[in-house]
Homo-oligomer: A and B are copies of this chain.
Amino acid sequence: MRRIAPDRDQLLAMVAEVFREHGYEGASIALIGAATGLGKGSLYHFFPGGKEEMAGAVIAHIDGWFEDNVFERLRDGTDPRAGIEHMFEATDSYFRSGRRVCLIGAFALEESRDLFASQIRDYFGRWVGHLADALARDGHGTTEAAELAEEAVAAIQGALTLARAVDDAGMFSRVLRRTHMRLGLTGGDDI
């Protein structure tokens, strides 16, 4: 059979959902198999490195999505404010208003952190870095921009944790709106 399985993008998306839902340790090969409809044979064919390669690929996939849909726009020199604005929209949409969790953030808290330390550090480092650059271009001093960026990304991550913890539908959007305001963007428009 040539390619009955979903293509790599769809496959990674399905695997990602399992890791997101169960964590690295909790996501068993059996679970991943059930979620993707693939047997061990296929799974280990696509990811000879096993579970660790799956998780690594999933992180890279997510990283790529943020690179293309968030960081790229933050890097765009012409209108930093638009890039930041778009970051909030993309973030709210990606995390489904807090109903979805940040897989990379979750991995950072688990034991799995050690396995993927460099990928995790890269992802968050670039997020904070690009946001800080955009804020600096928007008129903030370098130090203030850097601290604001840290504060904003932390607020987003914390809001995801909190939203999941208290199971409050509105909380993620509320924190997002506030963070939006903290970055000096007009508080009026809803995101």
Contact B121 A150 (CB under 8 A): no
Question: How far apart sit A117 and B167, CA to CA, in the bound complex (Å)?
Answer: 9
- A39 contacts the other chain (CB 8 A): no
Partner of A147, one of B106, B147, B150, B174: B174
Contact A154 B151 (CB under 8 A): no
- A64 contacts the other chain (CB 8 A): no
- A40 contacts the other chain (CB 8 A): no
Q: Give A146-163 as 1s and 0s: 1 = Cβ < 8 Å from B's Cβ atoms.
A: 010011011111111110
Question: How far apart sit A71 and B117, CA to CA, in the bound complex (Å)?
Answer: 34
Query: At the interface with chain B, which of A17-25, A75-83, A131-139?
Result: A17-25
Question: How far apart sit A117 and B68, CA to CA, in the bound complex (Å)?
Answer: 35
Contact A113 B164 (CB under 8 A): yes
Contact B155 A121 (CB under 8 A): no
Contact A166 B125 (CB under 8 A): yes
Residue of B nearest to A27 (CB): B111
Knowing A26-B25, A108-B161, A109-B106, the reply to whether A150 touches B167 (Cβ < 8 A) is no
Residue of B nearest to A117 (CB): B167
A-B contact pairs, 25 of them (CB 8 A): A22-B110, A23-B110, A23-B111, A25-B26, A104-B165, A105-B109, A108-B161, A108-B164, A109-B164, A113-B164, A113-B165, A117-B167, A121-B166, A123-B165, A151-B155, A151-B178, A153-B158, A153-B162, A154-B155, A154-B161, A154-B162, A156-B158, A157-B158, A158-B161, A182-B182
